[in-house]
Homo-oligomer: A and B are copies of this chain.
Amino acid sequence: MSDPMPFASHQNLIYLTGLAGKKPSLPVNLEELESRALEVLSPEAHGYVGGGAGKERTMQANLASFDHWQIMPRMMRDVANRDLSVELLGTKLNSPVMIAPIGVQGIVHADGELATARAAQEMGIPYIVSTASSYTLEQIAQASKEVPRWFQLYWPSDNAVTESLLQRAETAGYRAIVVTLDTRMLAWRERDLQQAFLPFLTGQGLANYFSDPAFRQGLDKPPEEDIQSAVLKWMSLYSDLSHTWDDLKFLRSCTKLPIVLKGILDPQDAKQALDSGVDGIIVSNHGGRQIDGSVAALDCLPEVVEVVADQIPVLFDSGIRRGADAIKALALGAKTVLLGRPAMWGLAIEGQAGVEEVLRRFLADFDLTMALCGCASLEDLSPEMLKTSAN
C-alpha cells in the first residue's frame, strides 16, 4: 500500500501530469470520463451502469442538489499541515472517503471487484463489498487484505442464507455490515427493460450466493451444473418485502459486527434506525437507481444529521463526483462519503489502474480544495461555510 498523502500540492500536480508533460490517458474531466467509460462498455452494461430509475429525474436531482449549496472559503488560515483522517466505528481512516458498494462489476471489467479491491488496497481506501458481486467475498477479501472492508447485504428472505453470508463476512475479516434498505425490489429502469437485460438472470453477480453452503442446500444440482434453477432460487429468496424494523433483531443476532443501514432519507426513518440500535446510517437514494422523482439524497442530509444528533455516524452516498461535493456533504454533517460511479468509470477503461487513478485524483482534488477553503482538518468543516445559492 503506497502512501497517497499528502495528496495535493505542486508535487502532486507534477506527479499526476509528469514533468515531461505526459498527458494522462484517463480523462481528468469527470463528465468526459463518464462518456468515455460508457463507450467502452457493452450496450447492456452501459445501460445498467449509466442509467437510473424511470426518467432518471432522481439521478439528475442528485447532481443538481450539490449546486444548491455553495462553498464560502476562508482566507489566511494555516493549512500547511492537513489531517484528513477520521475515526469511524473504531477504525481510523486516512480520509473520509470510501468506495460505495456496487454489484456485478464483472460486466464492467473482467477483473471486476478484484480490481476495485486491489485499487482500494493500494490507495488505503475502505471498500464496501456488495452481496451481488461477480467474485466471492472471500476472493475480494484476499485482494484487499490490509484495507478496512465492509460487507453490504441484500437481506435474503431465507434466514439460513442470511446467517451464512454474515458468518462468512465476519470470518473473512469484514468489519461492518451495510444493510441496503432501498432495493428490496429492482426498480423500473427503462434502459434495462429496453434491452431485456438483468445480469442476474444469467447468474452474473450471484457469486456470493452460488458459493454459499446454505444457498446450495436444497438445490437438486449445484449452480455450476444447473444455472437456471439456481437463478430461480435466487429470485425466490433475493429479499423479503415484509421485513420491518423489528426484524433487525434477527440480523443483530447473526453477527457481532456493527450494522449500518443504507438508504435512509426521511428523518423519521433515521429516528427509527436510532431506536433500533444500529451503529450507523448511510443517507442515500441508491444513486437515483430506485425511485424516479425522489428527493435528492443531499437535500435529506441536514435533517437526518439533526435527528441523529451525533449518536451514531451518518454517512453519505449518491452524487459525489468531485472534492467540492465531498466537502459539502461533510460540512452538512456526513462522517464519510461514498464514491460510486466514478470508480466504475475508471474500472471500465483501465481496470485496477483506472480505479486507482480515479481515487488518487479524487483525494488530490479533495485535499487541495480543503486547503483552498482554509480547512486543515475535518473539524474545520461546518454548515456555516455553505451558502444556499441565490439563483
Contact = CB atoms under 8 A, between A and B. Distances in A.
Given A292-B322, A293-B325, A369-B188, A76 B243 contact: yes
Contact of A9 (B185, B201, B244): B185
Kindly state the interface size class of chain A when it binds its partner.
35 or more
Contacts of A285: 73
Interface in A50-64: 53-55, 57, 61, 64
A23 B365 contact: no
B371 A293 contact: no
B80 A241 contact: yes
Interface in A338-391: 364-365, 368-369, 371-373, 387-391
Contacts of A9: 185
Contact of A28 (B74, B193, B248): B193
A387 B68 CA distance: 15
B182 A23 contact: no
Tallying the copies of this chain within the complex gives 4
Interface string A181-195: 110111110111111
B291 A373 contact: yes
B55 A30 contact: yes
Interface string A274-292: 0000000000010000111
Given A66-B293, A188-B8, A391-B61, A75 B263 contact: yes
A328 B247 CA distance: 29
B324 A291 contact: yes
A307 interface: no
Given A10-B185, A54-B322, A188-B368, 20 more contacts: A10-B186, A14-B201, A17-B192, A17-B196, A17-B198, A27-B194, A29-B190, A57-B67, A65-B390, A69-B293, A71-B294, A73-B294, A74-B266, A75-B182, A75-B261, A77-B244, A79-B184, A185-B368, A293-B328, A388-B390
Interface of A: 8-11, 13-14, 16-19, 21-24, 27-31, 53-55, 57, 61, 64-80, 181-182, 184-188, 190-198, 201, 235, 238, 240-245, 247-248, 261, 263-266, 268-269, 272, 285, 290-296, 299-300, 321-325, 328, 364-365, 368-369, 371-373, 387-391
29 contacts: A11-B235, A16-B193, A18-B196, A21-B196, A21-B197, A23-B196, A30-B190, A53-B369, A54-B369, A61-B391, A64-B391, A68-B390, A70-B296, A71-B293, A71-B294, A73-B265, A73-B290, A73-B294, A74-B268, A75-B182, A76-B247, A76-B272, A184-B372, A185-B371, A187-B368, A188-B365, A291-B369, A292-B322, A292-B324
